[in-house]
Amino acid sequence: MVRGTNDPRYGLHNIGGNLHVGTRQGGEYTDARFTLGSHDTREVQLALGRESERSAQNYFVAYQAANGDRPHARSEKYTLGGKWFTTLADGRVKAGLVARLYEHRAQEPGFMTAAELAQDRDQSFSKNANDGSDRDMRHVSVHVDWQVTPTLFMSNKLYANHYADERRITFTDSQAASLNNLPRQRRVWNEDQTGLLSTLTWRGSQAVVVEGGINLERQRNEYTRQRFAFAIPTEFSQPTATSNDDHHTLNNVGAYVQAVIQATDKLKLVPGWRVDWFSGNTTQNNGARGPLQDYGWIDQPKLSMVYSISDELSIYANWGRTFQILTGSRAPAYLTSPTQKHFSPSINTGQELGLKFKPSRLTEARIAWWQQDATDEVANMPATGTTVGLGETRRTGLDLQASTRMGAEWTLWASHSLQKAEVVSAFTGTGVSLAGKEVFSTPRHVSNVGVEWRATPDLRLGLQVRSQGSYFIDELNAKGKFGGFVLFDANARYQLSARTSVDLQIKNLADRRYVYAWDDTFFWPAGSTQPMFSPGAGRAAFVSLNFKL
């Protein structure tokens, strides 16, 4: 996990940090996992790795099915993946192919009004009987790593992704059936991405390492949105209107350079710089055409430092800029009208000051203050094809993390993040000032606390507490705060043999009631808006059997 704005390796969507998920390459293993649980959950996973002197193969296959916490919430997922890598005889070049397939078919039980939630949070509705979603994802990539010289290393990845998603959803209830056909929709996305990631690393000495890279990505996207008349259940066969049948492209060229300089035994400096450029065009079903907003070259300077006061105590500071551009297939992301407003990219300037310390050999802790200022933040909502302009915003936070081991039996960890996100300067479309309002859908705190007890050499028991604060659901902060929760999860693992173990997981141990809430202004006529809710899952238990063959 990379927090903040100081990582120059990525541009698009790297607004406040990024996550790297690494999967196994090579190795000799055959792992299997079988799971049964609440809501008729069934899951099978199989992972296989084989490695020889100059080749490595990895395979993964999985299936999961469950009926869901509410009626009409059945879900089925299929996953298949493979990796094939080979290394030349001298070990300087390694090349490989990665391919992955994913399919997901799911029913949707429907969103609830406050009255429906109070009546029965576990219900579904006859109007939603045809609601559901289908999602397919495909990935293939070619990798070539080359140790050019003992001090020069090149890494290259050429990739292609395909996303296909169809969602059929009925948002409103029968009392609003005569108002309009807006809340009954079928949405279809087809997106293709092809790109190149290439980096070059030079290790000049123990004190200086310089890394540079480029990325190219071309997207060809299609977005269709159809509307339907209300029925019980809502039918999705004959649309009454097609509001979107859009074809749009998005091209990104980016480059960066970064140096890691060990200035002294105690001081490390990491300066960096990144630039990005975008282009594209859209063609819409109403005949409108237009190019992407012209953002020009987007500059993003970065600087980080770490000062080690001692082996147990270090102070660090980061400063950097990232950016945000508009998304979607229509205005304002694309210029489809000669009178349309031109937008500059929203520049997010972040700074962080932190302290890392090890009060003992088995204890680590971190405390950090951070702040991020955006020049013209926009809440992009591609699911509805809309954007909400938030204007100039400021986010300030405090992160606390600690972990410790108490002997060989006990491990404890905790994290607590406080944050405040507010609008500094902006106005609604009707001229109402948003200054001082909190950014919607942003909780004030997120916390995790956990403990693991190794009761015997073969038995481990664990408990985790997850907590989140409530949040406003609209930009005016006028419709209440929702979404807060405190949840308890328990787990146990018993080692049956050297190659076999059994896991028990209990999610939401206390069966706490919590919801996801959102403002449905877009789906209701003026004057009839109200919060809508999706209840969180109640207590659920799962048993898994693990094999290492």
We report the CATH number of the domain holding residue 140 as 2.40.170.20
| Residue ranges of E strands in 325-478 | 346-360, 363-381, 386-406, 410-425, 445-456, 459-468, 471-472
DSSP state of 182: T
Query: Which backbone phi and psi does 331 adopt, to 5 degrees?
Result: -60, 145
CA dist., res. 43 & res. 66, Å (int): 9
| Residue-level pLDDT at 529 | 65
Q: Is there a cis peptide before residue 531, judged by omega within 30 degrees of 0?
A: no
| Residue-level pLDDT at 446 | 97
CA dist., res. 299 & res. 525, Å (int): 42
Q: What is the pLDDT of residues 131-172, one digit of tens each?
A: 999 999 999 999 999 999 999 999 999 999 999 999 999 876
| Stated pTM of the model | 0.92
| Residue-level pLDDT at 182 | 63
The tokens describing 352, both together, are 């962080």
CA dist., res. 337 & res. 334, Å (int): 9
Residues 6+ apart with CB under 8 A from 483: 441, 443, 468, 470, 471, 514, 515, 516, 517
Q: What is the pLDDT of residues 449-477, one digit of tens each?
A: 999 999 999 999 999 999 999 999 988 99
| Residue ranges of E strands in 171-293 | 184-203, 208-227, 241-262, 267-279, 281-283, 289-291
Quick count: other Cβ atoms within 10 Å of Cβ 497?
9
| Residue-level pLDDT at 382 | 63
CA dist., res. 69 & res. 92, Å (int): 52
Given a contact cutoff of 8 angstroms between Cβ atoms, the answer to whether 44 and 545 are in contact is no
Q: What is the pLDDT along the chain (549 residues), one digit of tens a residue?
A: 888 999 999 999 899 999 988 899 999 999 999 999 999 999 999 999 999 989 999 999 999 999 999 999 999 999 999 999 999 988 899 999 999 999 999 999 998 888 889 999 999 988 899 999 999 999 999 999 999 999 999 999 999 999 999 999 987 654 554 555 667 889 999 999 999 999 999 999 999 999 999 999 999 999 999 999 878 888 898 999 998 999 999 999 999 999 999 999 999 999 999 999 999 999 999 889 999 999 999 999 999 999 999 999 999 999 999 999 998 898 889 999 988 888 899 999 999 999 999 999 999 999 999 999 999 998 877 666 667 778 999 999 999 999 999 988 999 999 999 999 999 998 877 788 989 999 999 999 999 999 999 999 999 999 999 999 999 998 899 989 999 999 999 999 999 999 999 999 999 999 999 999 988 765 554 445 678 899 999 999 999 999 998
Print the domain residue range for 481.
2-548
How many domains is the chain partitioned into structurally?
Answer: 1
Residues 6+ apart with CB under 8 A from 69: 39, 122, 535, 537, 538, 540
| Residue-level pLDDT at 385 | 62
